A and B are shown apart, each in its own frame.
Chain A
Amino acid sequence: MKNFTKILFLVGFISQAAIGSASAEDVFPEPLKGAKMNDLRLVPTQTGGRLKPFDEFARETVLSLTGMRSFGKLDPSEMLISMMIEPKVWSELPIIRVSNDELKKQMLLDLGRKYFSPSELMKNNIFLQYAQGIEGQGGQVTSKGIDVTTSKKDPRTEELKRVVDRVTRFQSLVGGQLWMVMPDQAVALVEGQNQKWINLNEAMKLDHPAMKPVLGMLKAYLERNSQDFNEQSQMVRVTISNSVPSMQDHNYKIKAEVLYNMLRPFLQAMIFYLIAGILWMFATGHRFARMMAKFLTFSAMILHAFGFALRCYVAGRPPVTNMYESIIWVSFGVMTFALLIYAKHKHHILLTTSTILAGLSLFAADAAPMVMDPTIRPLVPVLRSNYWLTIHVLTITLSYAAFMLAMGISNVSLFQFTRATSENNEQRISLLNQLSYRALMFGTVLLAAGTILGGIWADYSWGRFWGWDPKEVWALIALLAYMAVLHGRYAGWVGKFTFPLWTVICFSTVLMAWYGVNFILGVGLHSYGFSNGGQAVMASFIVFQGLFCAWVSVRKKQNSTGTHVKV
């Protein structure tokens, strides 16, 4: 925010020049035919506290502007180049996302539109007032060394803040301040020290030889000369890479990250899982369909694991720190537990449930990049280089996976009660309950172990084993809830019907511990995971689940009048 006034100034300048040319139809620039982006994508750059490929930088920038990691016909990398070359065109195009209707009303914007052009936002009074007021605000350091702003957030202000940030980002991009193009050669590098990079603007002023191909590349794009562009971008990759000290350490990581971005392994896995799930559900009778389902499930898991490994490699740590990463891990956990139980019980329903759950979870993770940020970011100090942390989080989230599987199977079990009672059906229900009991066993042991490991970690790094922190407390609540059900089952009060019912209900405590503490309560020491959004989705899931339970209960009552189903 430092250069904000400067940037505002710049914006005024640019948008004023462009006001006259606003047209009714938005014509987005076409991709440059024959231009290859491969080299540009691999150009190293430094933003967000780490070295990364240009491709990732472009995707993050596009995400922060539009709310999606790629937008329109252009490849994100190409889109950034195009923006830098033709700022006037882009500042008239609707690329800035404004998603809060209340805010739109306040800003007198068209409610029917999702995207607005930077220049029209820059002319908006409310936007300008807020943008000027935002400067003096800084972060806070609390007693436990974590940056938090826990005062209840007003969604309008939050969104306005983001919109201001989006526009600022656009302006600094087109002003040459966002792309950190090369390491600062003026400052001698000290081992392990903070290496500063300079942005395009500063580099141009220095007249560094590495800038020649950069300018050449931009020029080639402006002239729409694809051959020249390809040659120059290759030069850019070589010269910039050469200017990075110890580039050989980063080379593979940069390539891996681009591969990860281009392949989108979790998206592929999601599609495979969902198709496999449908096949398992309807087509297990056919030999070919069964083979197909097996193959798809297997491939999805391979892709899933590969993506996971790639992400670990790029980030240099296990992905355990935010909602997005935990969903990826949990959905893999669901598959693992399903296979473990399948190894013994050989029941298709395990694969049906788990593939559908994994597919839907991955879909949820991918669908809302603004809520669940898929960006790989450096860790806050408290989470760094800690063995116990990794073990703790992986264990506890693995327990969520087991509970999720139990929830899925229990829902199937509940569904059986809507059918007419028969000997066959009875047996089926017993078996399903047996399966979800297995999953609960895994779940409770892992949750107990994970919670305790969390205590050990907290003891090791903060000096207290247990501090009634909301995240800890909700893990305990979930554990107690499942323990109550298991003890109830042991005592015989929880029967064939109430066991799956309670298993399903108890999953809401897991949702609360997993999602709710960070997204709804928003207090406590786990603040590095706090975020906003998705409440409506969560609420509708819970409402839907509740309605389903109610419907099953009613159907069951209708079925059981005069039959012998024991509860």
Chain B
Amino acid sequence: MAQRTLKIAHQAWKILISLKFAVVVMVLLTLSLITATLIESSVDTKTAQYFVYRSWWFFLILASFGALILAVAISRWPWQKKHTPFLMAHAGILMILAGSWLTYVNGIDGSLRLSEGEVSSSVELDQQVLVFKKNEAMNSVSFPWMPASMAKNFKPISYPEFGVKVEKFISDSTPKFQFNPAPTGTTEKTGAAVLVKILGAPMGGAPEVWMWTGDPAWATQKMGPARFLIRSEETVLPPSEPGEARFDFVVGKKGELKFEATSPRGEKRAGKIALGGPDPVIINPGWRMPIQLLVKQFVPVALNQTEYVPAKERSDSPVSAIQISLIENSDSKLWLGLGDRAEFTSHSVDQVSVGYFQKRVILPFALRLKNFEMKHNPGTMDPASYASHVQVVDSLQKSQSDMDSLESHTIEMNEPLKVQHYTFYQASYVPDFPKITTTILSVNYDPGRFLKYSGSLLLVLGSILLYLAKAVTRKKAVPQS
């Protein structure tokens, strides 16, 4: 029996170290890579990753590639001096594979979004989670992305400990905003909602915007230097910052709609908004910039019934969405786009809030953006370079003046900043008008870097030596002109 196992093992070893197997693996790898790039071209990057780069079978091909290289290197035992180039090249590949594995398992590759003056240590990863909150207890569960073709046959997933069920998944969605009058006795969260179109806005203008008092994230809209918000009369907000144009929709106690406009220089203008007439209501906030507001709809007690539908046009950065419901009462269905949060109030289940977010990691320190700077090519608006001037904040208790005195570092294209193990790169920015104030840094921690770099060096040196050695041995073997 033992002999038989040994025989099989010997056979397996023979196959593993055979060149035939090596070529088969190379060809398989090549074919799967070709497939992946074709998928990426015709669908999108995430789908290619789902079906190929992050699939178990692709991992298996890479693992067998690694195994056979290791086996082939061992099979030359006892090693001699002439084997050196061969061993170098093959060890190089092994080290690159091992380094990549380390990066994949332990590395961090995320992004950090910072507005001027903001301090943040929360890095967004390219993974999604469901965050449940019930009776002060919080729990986050990873919720993997899947491509459209898989989402079609999505089977509902239940989370019984929170009484919540995910009913549908859309990989690439667009929101269809709907704020409808709430029926009496609804258990869902309600608030006043207003639909506004901003006329004469810069940069081609904004589409219609809903604002809703039901959720702080819905209550404000920032557009360039101006802030638009909706609040009830009782809510008192801090006064607007100097230099900021602010427009408040104020919902009175009887459900009437009023407004308060504050110009950047502090001039105020207020009034009532009389809806229901035959003509559309247009309000001039009295700012210097030629902006007017067209109030299209006002719902005093509204439910957020925003739905997500599959996007018609393919986008570069698809936004996924899920539909959730309560297990015990699947009538009340809610849509959550990535980044949204919703609350359920029901009689038997205590208040549950569900968020659908990007996964985040918290760094052991924070960054503060002092300012963002952009230079243009002479005579054009094409960006020539952009830079973020940041400070490293090690304690959040610091006062404003303490922070101002921190040392400033510049992160530029091709000029990353290293703090502890983490490296920060200038990746992008949020386009804004008239000035860009939000930067997007990519944050990276790569424990496999050393292995990958030294492996690369070995591979290249090894292959050069391999060819040189071949040229020399050939000369020795066939002494001719």
Q: Counting CB contacts under 8 A, is A491 at the interface?
A: yes
Contact assessment for B314 and A473 in the assembled complex, using a CB-CB cutoff below 8 Å: no
- What's the nearest-Cβ distance from chain B to residue A530, in Å? 12
In the complex, which of the residues A151, A481, A522 contacts B30, with contact meaning CB atoms closer than 8 Å? A481
Q: Counting CB contacts under 8 A, is A23 at the interface?
A: no
- What's the nearest-Cβ distance from chain A to residue B319, in Å? 13
Known: A142-B317, A381-B386. A445 touches B19 (CB 8 A): no
Contact assessment for A382 and B40 in the assembled complex, using a CB-CB cutoff below 8 Å: no
Best-buried of B37, B103, B446, B464 by chain A (most CB within 10 Å): B37
In the complex, which of the residues A46, A142, A474 contacts B379, with contact meaning CB atoms closer than 8 Å? A46
Known: A138-B203, A196-B379, A523-B40. A464 touches B27 (CB 8 A): no
- What's the nearest-Cβ distance from chain B to residue A145, in Å? 4
In the complex, which of the residues A48, A452, A480 contacts B460, with contact meaning CB atoms closer than 8 Å? A452
Which residue of chain B lies nearest to A149 when distances are taken between CB atoms in the complex?
B316
Q: Counting CB contacts under 8 A, is A157 at the interface?
A: no
- What's the nearest-Cβ distance from chain A to residue B398, in Å? 27
Chain B residues within 8 Å of A248, by CB: none
Chain B positions 450-471 with a Cβ under 8 Å from a chain A Cβ: 452-453, 456, 459-460, 463-464, 467
Contact assessment for B379 and A195 in the assembled complex, using a CB-CB cutoff below 8 Å: yes
Which residue of chain B lies nearest to A379 when distances are taken between CB atoms in the complex?
B384
Q: Counting CB contacts under 8 A, is B353 at the interface?
A: no
Q: Counting CB contacts under 8 A, is B429 at the interface?
A: yes
Contact assessment for A491 and B40 in the assembled complex, using a CB-CB cutoff below 8 Å: no
In the complex, which of the residues B48, B103, B317, B385 contacts A143, with contact meaning CB atoms closer than 8 Å? B317
CA distance A470 to B429 in the complex (A): 24
Contact assessment for A473 and B452 in the assembled complex, using a CB-CB cutoff below 8 Å: no
Mask for B346-387, Cβ within 8 A of A = 1, else 0?
A: 000000000000000000000000000001111110111110
In the complex, which of the residues A382, A384, A441 contacts B467, with contact meaning CB atoms closer than 8 Å? A441
Q: Counting CB contacts under 8 A, is A484 at the interface?
A: yes
- What's the nearest-Cβ distance from chain A to residue B28, in Å? 10
Contact assessment for B427 and A143 in the assembled complex, using a CB-CB cutoff below 8 Å: yes
| Chain B interface size, under 10 / 10 to 19 / 20 to 34 / 35 or more | 35 or more
- What's the nearest-Cβ distance from chain A to residue B456, in Å? 4
Chain A positions 169-214 with a Cβ under 8 Å from a chain B Cβ: 180, 194-197
Q: Counting CB contacts under 8 A, is B442 at the interface?
A: yes
In the complex, which of the residues B100, B377, B429 contacts A145, with contact meaning CB atoms closer than 8 Å? B429
In the complex, which of the residues B103, B204, B378 contacts A51, with contact meaning CB atoms closer than 8 Å? B378
Q: Counting CB contacts under 8 A, is B220 at the interface?
A: no
Q: Counting CB contacts under 8 A, is A521 at the interface?
A: yes
CA distance A441 to B464 in the complex (A): 8
Chain A positions 425-465 with a Cβ under 8 Å from a chain B Cβ: 441, 444-445, 448-449, 452, 455-456, 459-465
Q: Counting CB contacts under 8 A, is B390 at the interface?
A: no
- What's the nearest-Cβ distance from chain A to residue B92, in Å? 9
Residue contacts A-B, CB under 8 angstroms, 13 given: A49-B380, A152-B314, A180-B379, A378-B382, A384-B414, A385-B414, A445-B467, A452-B459, A455-B456, A456-B453, A481-B30, A490-B19, A520-B41
Smallest CB-CB A-B distances: 6 pairs: A49-B377, A463-B444, A521-B41, A145-B428, A491-B19, A452-B456
Chain A interface (Cβ < 8 Å from any Cβ of B): 46-51, 136, 138, 140-145, 148, 150-152, 180, 194-197, 378, 381-382, 384-386, 441, 444-445, 448-449, 452, 455-456, 459-466, 468, 470, 473-474, 476-477, 480-481, 483-484, 487-488, 490-491, 493, 517, 520-524
Sample of 9 more A-B contacts, CB < 8 Å, known A449-B460, A477-B33: A142-B316, A143-B428, A378-B384, A381-B386, A463-B442, A473-B36, A474-B37, A476-B33, A521-B37
